[in-house]
Structure 1
Amino acid sequence: MEGSSAEQAPRGHEQTGSPGRVVVSLCAYNEHDNLVELIPEIRRVVPAADIVVIDDNSPDGTGELVREFAARDPQIHLVSRAGKLGLGTATIEAFRFARDRGYDWLLNLDADCSHPPRFIPAILAATENADVVIGSRYVPGGKIPDWPFRRRLMSWGINALARTCLGLKTQDNSGAFRCYQMTLASQLVDARFLAKGYAFQEEVLYRLKRLGARFVEVPITFEERRFGRTKINLKEMFAALAVMFRLGLSRLVPRGPR
């Protein structure tokens, strides 16, 4: 774990309209060029919030960049991991960071600039009536302006399956733009997740639903990454399908996954 103040307790960041202490998490692998722009944007939009980057030993210098930010700004933190261990475990590491430092909420964005920080205030405002707020592409007002039909169809199918297999009522179950109330999310830090990659997004909602979480969706506009290439592939898609089927089957037996 690294950063100028990674081992210090966070300062209180209460402000008018804030739900309490907030940390913004960014799970990164080879996102140097995107984070150059994204971290300052987040700081401008929510100057009271801290930022933690979970870096999977990116060879492009992502970790070094965050160290430079952290050296100048004590509200920026870096957690370095030994290698590319998967998006799901990176998010759990962010949960652990938030839990151990007493944050009230963890707000997660993709590190590739596809989740515009301008929507953060609306997401934080919605925490008043929810335990999990989802930045949603699929509620009225949500948009994905640049996706081809094939990608839209694949995403629609994944989300429909999540609602069918997992009993979720939310429309956008595969996106990562979310704000989690840490009283509930901290209970998942030591859980044994089936998903290691992108299927984590559906599984974490399923587990939080089982804990009684209240969900609210706030419309966002999803934008294409600014730099680099997407890491989603057919292997990840089939892995997500397998996880959802296994979780769906667990609903039919007395004891589900722990």
Structure 2
Amino acid sequence: MNDGGGRQFGPLGTTLVIIPTFNEAENIKAIVGRVRASVPAAHVLIADDNSPDGTGKLADELTVEDDQVHVLHRKGKEGLGAAYLAGFRWGLEHGYGVLVEMDADGSHQPEELPRLLTALKGADLVLGSRWVPGGRVVNWPKSREFISRGGSLYSRVMLDVPIRDVTGGYRAFRRETLEGLGLGEVSSQGYCFQVDLARRAVKAGYHVVEVPITFVERELGDSKMSRDILVEALWRVTTWGVGERADRIRARRKG
């Protein structure tokens, strides 16, 4: 991770927790309640991809009960990356100083968010990490742990980024960091979306910190992980890595 160059970090501002949803009716009220209890000053944005199970309607009900909860209704399922990008744009347009990525299914525990926000006082981006000392996963089969660890290792080596959990999706960004990442150029999804933002942050020289978290497998609803998401991640990471190596070779030859 970057050392930050000894620079000073400014105040954080109001936090917006972005929770993308697609068919999370069983989870949405509980997760929003836990966020609001854990960080009472934070606002929540539910980015719903027109869930057929009524998640969007339940989200609207939450906004009536709590004026710190907001809903972004999207036309349909376009993937995790597109939902987060829409949430980032909404949050930046509305002046939030910190933007947080969080899953709706409880795998990212809201009770750990205060530690991420504390770490962000001295960083540009904080990653909730399963694969640093103190981090762990609960109720995962060994096969999935192997895929996740292997994906992070492959991405770290191919892209030369000093991050242990490159694919993790529990993250806290300063708004200035997001503004400097070139979000308009991001088109990746799923695991690959998380890898893309992490590599952009490192390459831009931002100070990235990993905080250990306990990742808990969802108890309700269905996982959105698919073979297509894994294939996209492998293809894009390989393409980025090969491209960066080719650029370095060309630069040395010109030099």
TM (norm. structure 2) is: 0.89
Amino acid at match of 2:49: D
Q: CA deviation at 1:193?
A: 2.1
Asked if structure 1 preserves the Cα contact closer than 8 Å seen for 2:103 and 2:170, the reply is yes
Equivalents in 2 of 1:148, 1:178: separation in Å?
24
Partner residue of 1:47? 40
Equivalents in 2 of 1:98, 1:60: separation in Å?
26
Equivalents in 2 of 1:80, 1:152: separation in Å?
33
Asked if structure 2 preserves the Cα contact closer than 8 Å seen for 1:137 and 1:221, the reply is yes
Equivalents in 2 of 1:134, 1:196: separation in Å?
18
Asked if structure 1 preserves the Cα contact closer than 8 Å seen for 2:189 and 2:229, the reply is no
Partner residue of 2:78? 85
Equivalents in 2 of 1:248, 1:119: separation in Å?
33
Give yes or no for the alignment of 1:26 onto 2:11. no
Give yes or no for the alignment of 1:240 onto 2:233. yes
Asked if structure 1 preserves the Cα contact closer than 8 Å seen for 2:12 and 2:174, the reply is no
Aligned residues: 238
Partner residue of 2:215? 222
Q: CA deviation at 1:252?
A: 2.7
Unaligned runs of 5+ in 1: 1-17
Identity %: 37
Counterpart pick for 2:121 among 125, 128, 134:
128
Equivalents in 2 of 1:98, 1:204: separation in Å?
17
Unaligned runs of 5+ in 2: 1-10, 249-255
CA-to-partner distance for each residue in 1:123-165, whole Å, 9 max, x for gaps? 1000122111011111111111311211111111100111011
Partner residue of 1:103? 96
Distance verdict in 2 for CA 1:189–1:84, change over 3 Å: farther
Partner residue of 1:251? 244
Give yes or no for the alignment of 1:196 onto 2:195. no
Divergent runs of 4+, >6 A: none
CA-to-partner distance for each residue in 1:153-200, whole Å, 9 max, x for gaps? 111110011101111111111111000111120234642224133310
SS at match of 2:27: helix
Equivalents in 1 of 2:207, 2:80: separation in Å?
24
SS at match of 1:114: coil
Q: Relative to structure 2, which stretch is displaced further, 157-166 or 246-255? A: 246-255
SS at match of 1:69: helix
Give yes or no for the alignment of 1:56 onto 2:49. yes
TM (norm. structure 1) is: 0.88
